[in-house]
Structure 1
């Protein structure tokens, strides 16, 4: 049993490298098997097909993200900073997400949708409690946080191309993101004062 678990782990690691580099369409099961040091047929035995393997890899890493990045609706600027830190230190996962968004060939990731719905609901509750401003909808806030926090990754066509110094100044970029999120999550009363 341990040998099977070790092989499965090697397959998932090799698949992460392959899919983050080439996406679903460009990835080759032969290369994954070679890099995992296993027979190609084992991949099909464990995962049925390439799309299922891709979904498994993506879900595994998204689950890790959900566990490692605490969502704090009462402190959305802090959450944005943690997303930025994670995104900048995990370019392979950001590339994998980009491929997922581009190809949309695999089924909907229900856990991802559930987590996003929960976060939006928590933002709404924070707004109702007066902890977050109501100028913008919870969905808009969540989208803005994710867009800003990941804008300077290599997979985003805008951040680095418009802000050439950002890569050399990650601390300043992080602080600017926090400040921007702090401003858009203030209530209109707080902005007026």
Structure 2
């Protein structure tokens, strides 16, 4: 790699870092390319040359910070409680990324990074196989179960409006909160019948009364 290419890559990295701060603070609509350029120490036009638009820059930033999470957070369908605990640790350690996800949820005009969809589909497939093999309870469909896991694991971050607003003191005991989340996930994921009604009884005939 020659010096010019190295300089270009270094500039892109500075832009992505500056954009992460800008987007996580102001969202997509409130972010300003001028501020990103100033923070990154580059010409505003370079941002459009490298990333085409503010929306594409946002998606690139989101993907750039999510991909390591997909690599580091190993999905274990046979131990969803353990997975929830790892997601909890990661989300609590990366507040800026969680704010970015919150802004993404609010501004749905932005396309989701391809890696995010692929990762979700792979998890659903693995969870489906685990349920079919009897290793995970079948009370809930795999897509719904995975949504519950992710919601609980990130409940005390900016991506969720309830945890911090309703029970802010819970985060003071990080380990206890994590264990509670993991325990609830294990309970839900092991259930085969959450409503308690089981298989409906066969209708009685006059001979069986």
TM-score normalised by length of structure 2: 0.87
CA RMSD of aligned residues (A): 1.4
CA spacing shift, 1:37–1:106, aligned 2, 3 Å: same
How many residues are matched? Answer: 190
Structure 2: tracts of 5 or more residues without a match: 197-209
Match of 2:89 in 1: 85
Q: Residues 66-85 of structure 1: matches in 2 within 5 Å?
A: 66-85=70-89
Match of 1:154 in 2: 158
Match of 1:185 in 2: 189
**TM-aligned CA deviation for residue 78 of structure 1:** 0.5
Q: Report Cα offsets for 1:98-154 as digits up to 9, x if no partner.
A: 111101122233321121111011001011111111111101110000000000113
CA distance in 2: counterparts of 1:108 and 1:84, whole angstroms: 22
1:45 corresponds to 2:53: no
1:108 corresponds to 2:91: no
More helix by share: 1
TM-score normalised by length of structure 1: 0.94
**TM-aligned CA deviation for residue 170 of structure 1:** 1.1
Match of 1:64 in 2: 68
CA distance in 1: counterparts of 2:168 and 2:11, whole angstroms: 42
SS at match of 2:103: helix
**TM-aligned CA deviation for residue 59 of structure 1:** 1.0
CA distance in 2: counterparts of 1:125 and 1:165, whole angstroms: 38
Q: Which runs of 4+ in 1 moved over 3 A?
A: none
CA distance in 2: counterparts of 1:165 and 1:30, whole angstroms: 38
Bigger Cα displacement from structure 2, 16-25 vs 153-162: 153-162
Structure 1: tracts of 5 or more residues without a match: none
CA distance in 1: counterparts of 2:67 and 2:59, whole angstroms: 12
Q: Report Cα offsets for 1:67-103 as digits up to 9, x if no partner.
A: 1111111111000000000000100000000111101
Match of 2:179 among 162, 172, 175: 175
Give the conservation status (yes or no) of the 8 Å contact 2:25–2:99. yes
Q: Report Cα offsets for 1:8-38 as digits up to 9, x if no partner.
A: 1000000000001111100000000000011
